[in-house]
Amino acid sequence: MGARLGHVIRAVVAATGGFTLLAGCVFGAPTPTGGSGAWQLVSQSVAPAESAALDTGRPGPERPAQPVQAPDCRVERCVALTFDDGPSGQTTRLVGLLESAGVPATFFALGSQVAEHPAAARAAAGHAEIASHGWAHTSLTKLTGHQIAAELVRTNRAIAETVGSRPTLFRPPYGAVDAAAVDELRRAGLPIALWSVDPEDWKVRDADAVHRRVLDAVRPGSVVLLHDLYASTVDAVPRIIADLRAQGFVFVTVSQMWGGELAAGETYTGREAEWVGRQ
Ligand code: NI
């Protein structure tokens, strides 16, 4: 598990009380939209014949489970829960919890895990936004341009063939990109989705600690990094949801956090710095 565990952007994180909190910086965010009008999950549908063949009877991302009125995340207290490195044996239980709470989320799936747990991938895609985290958690900075392009295509294809739509966001393993990787992601049409709150759930493996760290760190506009690999993380989720809701937070997908307007090759962490709502 070693290489897969954890995400580190050492250059920009500030250690705070045993976990890391990105400073809510947004690089190259587009001009926010007004937040009114119907909003749809951004997804690129695959060919209809392929979709029909893959129809699981559950709503897919191209038919959102919850058609959502876009919240304006500069004003609303938005928070995005994200789950990386799955799907795994924990994913279906997690999706059930999210579903019964009516909470959208974003899953950054590994292509290799999708191949291993296709039913869990479909369960996630039936309720949540499903995005790419690469094939096998290799840092893009260790790959050539050709290898990155091949990895992106392979992962997108596995996800599309399994859940019926292609991912429209990419989260680099370890949050690591260099200029060549950014070029490839831009060419592939993928925005770079990072995070602003990291409770290090992969390290602590304790539901109480994960819950406390998330609650301590979340601000309006936060994107929270979790992993759908650990029972302790899944156990923490209902309490995280209940307590953030009690504080007036609205749950959104990563795409919703930016009003569905994320640009290929641009980097997004959180929107805390843009928030102008009432305290
Ligand atoms: Ni990861």
> Which among 175, 200, 192 has a CA at the least distance from the CA of 20?
200
Q: Are 72 and 48 in contact (CB under 8 A)?
A: no
> How many angstroms does the Cα of residue 19 sit away from the middle of ligand 1?
16
Q: State the distance from the centre of ligand 1 to the C-alpha of 230, rounded, in angstroms.
A: 13
**What pLDDT score was predicted for residue 181?**
98
- 69 contacts 38 by C-beta, under 8 angstroms: yes
The catalytic position among 7, 84, 85, 137 is 84
The H or E element containing residue 156 is: helix 145-163
Mean pLDDT calculated for residue range 34-40: 34
Identify the pLDDT of residue 106. Answer: 98
User: Do the Cβ atoms of 107 and 86 come closer than 8 Å?
Assistant: yes
Q: Is the pLDDT of residue 32 over 70?
A: no
Q: How far is the CA of 237 from the centre of ligand 1 (A)?
A: 18
pLDDT at 57 over 80: no
Q: What angle do CA 146, 149, 155 make, to 5 degrees?
A: 135
117 catalytic? Reply is no
Q: What is the pLDDT of residues 239-278, one digit of tens each?
A: 999 999 999 999 999 999 999 999 999 999 999 999 999 8
The pLDDT assigned to 252 comes to: 97
This prediction's pTM: 0.78
Predicted confidence (pLDDT) at residue 22 exceeds the cutoff of 50: no
**52 Cα to the center of ligand 1, angstroms:** 31
Alpha-carbon distance of 152 to 157, in angstroms, equals 8
Known active-site residue 227: yes
199 CA → ligand 1 middle, Å: 13
- Average pLDDT on 102-120 reads 98
Q: Identify the active-site residue in 7, 133, 137, 227.
A: 227
Between the CA of 152 and the centroid of ligand 1 the distance, in Å, is 15
For the ranges 55-64, 108-117, 173-182, 191-200, the lowest mean pLDDT is seen at 55-64
Give the Cα separation of 167 and 276 in Å (integer).
30
* Residue count (the chain): 279
* Mean pLDDT of the 19-40 span: 33
Between the CA of 235 and the centroid of ligand 1 the distance, in Å, is 19
pLDDT recorded at residue 59: 38
- Give residue 75 CA to ligand 1 midpoint distance, Å: 30
> Would you say the C-alpha torsion 217, 218, 223, 224 has a positive or negative sign?
positive
Asked if residue 266 lies in contact with residue 212, where contact means CB atoms within 8 angstroms, the answer is no
Whole-number pLDDT of residue 265: 98
